[in-house]
Amino acid sequence: MLKGTMKIELTDVHNGKTDTVIEHNMITNALTNIFKPLGHLNNPSTMYNNIAPYYQKVLGGLLLFDNAIEENPNMLYAPANANMVGCAAYGLQNNTTGKMRGGFNQTESELNLANRYMKYVYDFATSQANGTISCVCLTHLNGGFTSYGSDDAVFNSSYPLGVSLYDSPLQYVYTSYTGANTGDKYSGLTLEKTEVLFLIDRQADIAYYFRIDNASSIHIIKRRAYLQSISVLENPYSQKALVDDIELSELSTPMPTNYFAYNFDHADKCLYIFSSSGSYKKPNETLVITKINISNWHIQQYEWVNTTGVNITTNGMRYAYAHEGYVYFKSYNSPYKVYKFEIGNSANVVQIEYHGFSSISGYPHFAYNGRIYYENYNNELYIINGNTNQGLKPENQRIYSSSNGQICYTPLLNEPMIYFGSYGNWSTSTFILMTNYLATINNLSEPVTKTADKTMKITYIIQEQ
């Protein structure tokens, strides 16, 4: 069992007066989820390389937020109404021009195995982490690199947002490993043939695909994931056994079959399919949004109208992303702007305000708790906050690998921390852990405000009991 105590010391540089705040935290289920076996295919060396030593990596990042965060063990990522004020990373100083991240105090930090505790000490200069602090959390080392975004972050390629947690020898999109014409956002869609992966359920041991046969016909395909079960009569390496093929009721609104995009949204557990007749939409032109609830396969359809006054891109299978009742589209022409529309009410549209950059050339890859993560082929990562309608960038320059502009991230049902990474139908990847999780939540009894005339020291002790 872990217990955490956190101390903030704010020192006025003019008179030397120090104000001290001490609080106790709660431990979330993040660590439980990280160490929960994926199935019978675990490779411990992969985990050890990316999360050990645990005190340095799994808990080696610090996050400061301006609002309190619900003390719920399943609050695994910061909600969109909690904005990052500061951060820090184990063993590292901030030698950049960015003013969010502080520095690790090597002298005062201490690993004490005799008394079973780790003391993390982080120092913040007068220019760093200024603002109101209401909540302090521990996270992964990589999560300590401005992982919720700021307006002055300097990209760092050494600390990606995602790290490999498990090897994935049983691929779910590479045709030679599934025995079917399977793919994802990268491989494209052929009517009547391509089964597009959109979700993995490790508990039920199912990989979910959809197949579009024509403008009015969608099939849901269930294949064995082979994470929890083994059959001596089947070869999971080259074929994923068919579990079920569900033909959904005929659609009330036929879908254009030229250009498709899709995503599964953790927020409502629905699959969204976007279908367009062209590679872009002019003002007042339309496309069809099909929403499928995976609990009962109920279908709802919406007509989206481009009410922006500019052309919107509908090319490629990542051109749109639905999250928490809104859908995000990008302009067709540079500089690329992102627009947020309320699903079912295209008149409610907002242009996302960028901070620290002027264009997003990439596409959305995943979303959780109101934040949508965009990445491009140049390994540049951007975060859109649906609560503030602002776009920021983190120091984490990329999500995962140096070629991750081509990776697709398939979510795991009820498990927002882990995604299956794949390269269409031509290569393989891994299961990836998103590192800006909240391992602890430590809300202050009263918020404190750090200003440019104060330095700050944060001491966070994690005790094993």
* Domain chopping of the chain, boundaries: 2-148+439-464, 167-434
Chain length of the chain = 465
- pTM for this model (two decimals): 0.96
pLDDT at 167: 72
CATH of 167-434, one of 3.30.1120, 2.120.10, 2.60.40, 1.10.8: 2.120.10
What share of residues in the chain are helix, strand, coil (percent, to 5)? 5, 45, 50
Residues 132, 83: Cα–Cα separation, whole Å: 10
For the four alpha carbons of 280, 331, 286 and 197, in that order, the dihedral sign comes to positive
Question: β-pairing, 390-392 with 353-354?
Answer: parallel
Which regions of 81-147 does DSSP assign to beta strands (E)?
A: 84-89, 103-104, 110-112, 117-124, 131-139
* 258 pLDDT tier (thresholds 50, 70, 90): very high
Distances in whole angstroms, Cα of residue 273 to Cα of each of 10, 173, 320:
50, 18, 9
Hey, what are 445's tokens?
A: 């009894």
pLDDT at 175: 87
| Percent of the chain's residues with pLDDT above 70 | 97
CA 220 to chain centre: 25
Tens digit of each residue's pLDDT (9 = 90 or more) over 298-307:
999 999 999 9
117: helix, coil or strand? strand
Task: Name the amino acid, one letter, at 97.
Answer: T
Hey, what are 207's tokens?
A: 């990989």
Task: Name the amino acid, one letter, at 245.
Answer: D
Please, are residues 195 and 187 in contact by the beta-carbon 8 Å criterion? Answer: no
pLDDT at 402: 65
Is it the case that residue 444 has pLDDT exceeding 60? yes
* 367 pLDDT tier (thresholds 50, 70, 90): very high
267: helix, coil or strand? coil
Among 436, 438, 439, which Cα is nearest to 462's?
Answer: 439
Q: Is 39 left (phi over 0), alpha (psi -120 to 50) or beta?
A: left
Hey, what are 266's tokens?
A: 């953790």
Among 197, 185, 368, which Cα is nearest to 269's?
Answer: 368
